[in-house]
Copies of this chain bind each other. A is one copy, B any other.
Amino acid sequence: MKEKILTEAEGLFWKYGVKSITMDDIARQLGISKKTIYQHFEDKEDIVFQVVKDKLDRDEEEFQCQFRGAGNPVEEILRVSELLRQHAVTVNPSMVLDVQRHYPKAWAVFLKHKEQYILTSIQDNLRRGVQEGLYRPDIDIEVMARLRIESVQLGFDERVFPGSRANVLAVQEQLLHHFIRGLLTEKGFSVYNQYNLNTL
């Protein structure tokens, strides 16, 4: 039952945002009583926390698959970004904003994920790229990794890039390719140009 509640809640959150969904909505949707929900979760914050945590765990697994499947760091960055692009289409930005504003426990998990998993993955990618001669030896791994994280967030920021959802994807595409190209050596460019012409 716990799993069923989480799956249903997550679906509702993605669709309508977190704030507007009540425990009553979740119970009604599942045809169960609120009492049953409270047998498994302390409160709504608890559900939100668990939904975010499960989602991030699934994401990590999916990303690990893409990492393993990539032949080199350039392909890896392109693959992961394609995955992000697919995710972005389904993401309701108000869900993220709701969590940030109203669910500090769940937001902390997300920040930790960003800080530890994402940052480490990017740094690792950059390090291997430099080792393989695809990225410039004079890049500062820490600075470039932060730049990447921050510019992905920037691309979602409507105050910086106003516009539609389709536009967000175009902006992210611009930022991604600019980011990769800024790293590349000549050797890196010859690898990048192969992938860039084809879809992955």
User: A residues within 8 Å of B by Cβ?
Assistant: 139-140, 143-144, 146-147, 150-151, 154, 160-161, 170-171, 174-175, 177-184
Copies in the complex: 2
Contact B182 A140 (CB under 8 A): no
Residues of B within 8 A of A151 (CB): 147, 150-151
Pairwise interchain contact A140-B179, C-beta atoms closer than 8 A: no
Complex Cα–Cα for A143 and B143 (A) = 21
* A182: B residues at CB distance < 8 A: 177-182
* Distance, CA A146 to CA B140, complexed state (A): 22
Residue of B nearest to A179 (CB): B182
**Distance in Å from the Cβ of A159 to the closest Cβ of chain B?**
10
Contact A143 B174 (CB under 8 A): yes
